A = this chain, B = another copy of it.
Amino acid sequence: MAPVKVFGPAKSINVARVLLCLEEVGAEYELVHMDLFQAKEQNSPEHLARNPFGKVPALQDGDLVLFEARAIAKYVLRKYKTEQADLLREGDLEEAAMVDVWTEVEAHQYHQALRLIMLECFLNPTLRGLPTNQAVVDEAVEKTKKVLEIYEARLSEHRYLAGDFFSFADLNHFASTFYIVDATPYGSLLDSYPRVKAWWEDLMSRPSFKKISANMTTKV
């Protein structure tokens, strides 16, 4: 069988979300790079046929075409699930619920807090030639601290977010945390939260995280 194809640039947060899942389950895949900034390939007829909203990533698996990163990621995790790599835990009602809770927290709390730091300190200056709005950053940093405080409490009770097992909930935190640490002056925020810091170091020691992050680093 042909390997699944993922369309999008390796540096995209949402592409990384899908690639990490493919690595975690050991699936064969091909990454088809897309240029979003110069050629704007997300607006090409080929890509709009994959995703009418013109976003990345998209996935092609035989005749099946999917979009929306979290939906693609779950498809991959279900299709290639093994006893060792069961990141959704859908066989257990309560475990699956806790995976869902902390996956939603990532989307609506964690990412919302961190994304303005990324935007102002990294994306705007490097990709768009725009200055950093420090007032926006300062507010986002305060919001991030409140979120990290709650994470510190949660990770004092359990080794991982959904419980004492690594799951999709943890994995979803990869790209925004990676960029805060790698590409902004605010990586040291984690240092005040020892459980969060230890959790992050644990995640980054996984082969999948090492491999995917190697293609994302902003450092020369």
Contact = CB atoms under 8 A, between A and B. Distances in A.
Nearest to A94: B64
Interface in A181-204: none
B93 A78 contact: yes
Contacts of A154: 52
A145 interface: no
A79 B98 CA distance: 14
Contacts of A78: 90, 93, 96
A96 B64 CA distance: 13
B100 A74 contact: yes
Contacts of A104: 68-71
Interface residues of A, number: 31
A100 B70 contact: yes
Given A53-B105, A104-B70, A64 B97 contact: yes
A93 B64 CA distance: 11
A64 to B, nearest CB: 6
Contacts of A75: 93, 96-97, 100
Contacts of A71: 97, 100-101, 103-104
B68 A108 contact: yes
Interface in A57-71: 64, 66-71
A153 interface: yes
B100 A68 contact: yes
Nearest to A48: B150
Given A71-B103, A78-B96, A101-B71, A109 B153 contact: no
Interface of A: 52-53, 64, 66-72, 74-75, 78-79, 90, 93-94, 96-98, 100-101, 103-105, 107-109, 150, 153-154
A-B pairs, top 9 by smallest CB distance, nearest first, are A71-B100, A68-B104, A75-B97, A71-B101, A52-B150, A71-B104, A68-B101, A74-B100, A70-B104
